[in-house]
Amino acid sequence: MKKIDSLKYYLEQRAFGVCSWLGQKIGIKSERVRLYFLYLSFGTLGSSIILYLLLAFWLNIKNYIKEGRRTTWDL
């Protein structure tokens, strides 16, 4: 059981934060969002993975924009 928890922690730290971000926006737990992504992946033959990657890309770009704004105001 400890190995499963450590694997879960490792994946949560490196999985772009899409599920936790989406869960916060919707107001549900991130574990439930992960389950929905899994169910959608099996039901739609993997097309929800494309949605997940698009959201990950958008969040990454959004973080770069926020960092750029912070550094320009600090100067």
Determine the residue type at 35.
Answer: L
Per-residue pLDDT reduced to its tens digit, 20-75: 888 999 999 988 988 888 898 889 888 888 888 898 898 888 877 877 766 555 55
Encoded tokens for 44: 């739609």
Please tell me the predicted confidence (pLDDT) of residue 49: 84
CA distance linking residue 4 with residue 53, whole number of Å: 24
Q: Domain locations in the chain?
A: 2-74
Query: What's this model's pTM, rounded to 2 decimal places?
Result: 0.62
